[in-house]
Amino acid sequence: MSKIGKRPIPLTSAKVQVENNLVTITGPKATFKHELPLGIGALLEDKLLCISAADSTSRRLRTLWGLHRALLANKVKGAEIGFEKRLIIVGLGFKAQLAGKKVTLTLGYTHKIDYELPNEVTIEIDKTGQMLTVRSVDKFVLGNVCDAIRAFRPPEPYKGTGIIREGEVVRRKAGKTKSS
């Protein structure tokens, strides 16, 4: 039996409609549609959305049960409050600037890097240009944008410079030592 799949999803401000295998989630921030595979069903009870599998002995259905419960929980949270991730730019002269839906990154290369943001993503940059707050209603798109920005200059282990996720621990290495 799926440990994740059997947990109900609490609903606070989102409205959910279940029609056959199509679940429609409407909240103050966004509206999502999610199609469940055959053998997985959804049931609305009071302020809880419960996901169930037709055959809980099938390994394939158990994995899909937990997966789709997690995907629906993410869509409910995104429709209600949204998601947020922070990126920190570490390095002398490294910074980011925002112009409309385009982020210009200065990361120590010979050129500046322009990154076009998707429509559903917003970004805030502090006045130093080194703290980026990325927000979206879709967790998947938010993670892809943060990974794409981080890939321009991943943190390096010797000086610790680069783009780091908030809370990430960069394992530092010792540099060369002077021999006597």
The pLDDT value given to residue 26: 93
Name the β-bridge partners of 121: 136
Q: How would residue 179 be classed by pLDDT, with cut points 50, 70 and 90?
A: confident
Mean pLDDT of 49-59: 84
Cα–Cα dist 39/41, whole Å: 7
Q: How would residue 95 be classed by pLDDT, with cut points 50, 70 and 90?
A: very high
Query: Are 9-80 and 83-165 equal in CATH topology?
Result: yes
Cα–Cα dist 165/153, whole Å: 12
All structural domains of the chain with their residue ranges: 9-80, 83-165
128 CA to centre of own chain? 24
Q: Which helix (H) or strand (E) holds 33?
A: strand 31-35
Q: Which helix (H) or strand (E) holds 100?
A: none
Mean pLDDT of 97-111: 94
* Eight-state DSSP code of residue 122: E
* CATH topology for the 9-80 domain: Outer Surface Protein A; domain 3 (3.90.930)
Tell me: domain 83-165, CATH 3.90.930.12, correct? yes
**How many other CB atoms are found less than 10 A from the CB of residue 130?**
16
The pLDDT value given to residue 2: 64
Helices 139-151 and 59-80: crossing angle in degrees, nearest 10, is 80
Burial of 6 (0-12, 13-18, 19+ CB in 10 A): middle
